[in-house]
Structure 1
Amino acid sequence: MGLIWFLLIGLLAGFLAGKIMKGRGFGLLGNIIVGIIGAVLGGFLFRIIGLQETSLLGSLATATVGAVVLLFLIGIISGKR
C-alpha cells in the first residue's frame, strides 16, 4: 500500500508542479516521474534547511516544491525559462 501512496503523491505533485509552472506538465507517466524525483529533491532541500514532513499533506508539499524546482531547472537547462 505504501508504493501506491508514493505513486499517487508523485502524480499529484507532478500535476500541481506543472500547473504552478504554467503548463510544463509531461502527461500522466511524466508527471509521476517528475513528482517522484521532486519528492526526493524536495526531501533533500527540506533537510538542508532543517524541515521534515510529518504527514501526508507534508509529503505532498515537499514533493510539490521539489517538482517545481526540478521543472525550473529543466526549463533553465533546455532554455525555455
Structure 2
Amino acid sequence: MGIIAFIIIGLIAGLIARAILPGRQSMGLIATTLLGMVGSLVGGLVGSLFARDGRLFDVHPTGILMSVIGSIVVLLLVGAAGRRRIHA
C-alpha cells in the first residue's frame, strides 16, 4: 500500500471512529488523520493475529474495518489518559 492510500484510509478511519464514539473530541484534521493511521496500524496488527496470509498492509474491506476498530481503541485510550491527567 502506498503512503497516500495509507493517509487517506487513516483519515477515513479516524473520521468514522470520531463519528461512532460519543462525546467531544477536540481534534483537527491532522490529528484525526494521525488517529486513523495509528488505529490502522493497531487494527492491522490485531488482524494479523487472526489471518496468517502474511500480507499485513493490503487494502481490503476487513482491513478498513479493523482500521476503524483500532482507531476507536486508540481514541478510547487517549480519552482515558486525558481524563486521568485532568483529574489527577
Q: Same fold per TM (> 0.5)?
A: yes
CA–CA separation in structure 1 for the residues paired with 2:10 and 2:26: 13
Structure 2 residue 80 is matched with structure 1 residue 68:
no
Rg larger in structure: 2
Unpaired runs of 5+ in structure 1?
none
CA–CA separation in structure 1 for the residues paired with 2:73 and 2:9: 16
Could you tell me which residue of structure 2 aligns to residue 14 of structure 1? 14
Indicate if the aligned counterparts of 1:18 and 1:25 stay in contact, CA closer than 8 A. no
Shift of residue 57, structure 1, vs aligned partner: 2.0
> Aligned-pair RMSD on alpha carbons?
2.4
Structure 2 residue 32 is matched with structure 1 residue 38:
no
CA–CA separation in structure 2 for the residues paired with 1:71 and 1:57: 21
CA–CA separation in structure 2 for the residues paired with 1:67 and 1:40: 9
CA–CA separation in structure 1 for the residues paired with 2:45 and 2:4: 22
Unpaired runs of 5+ in structure 2?
none
Indicate if the aligned counterparts of 2:43 and 2:68 stay in contact, CA closer than 8 A. yes
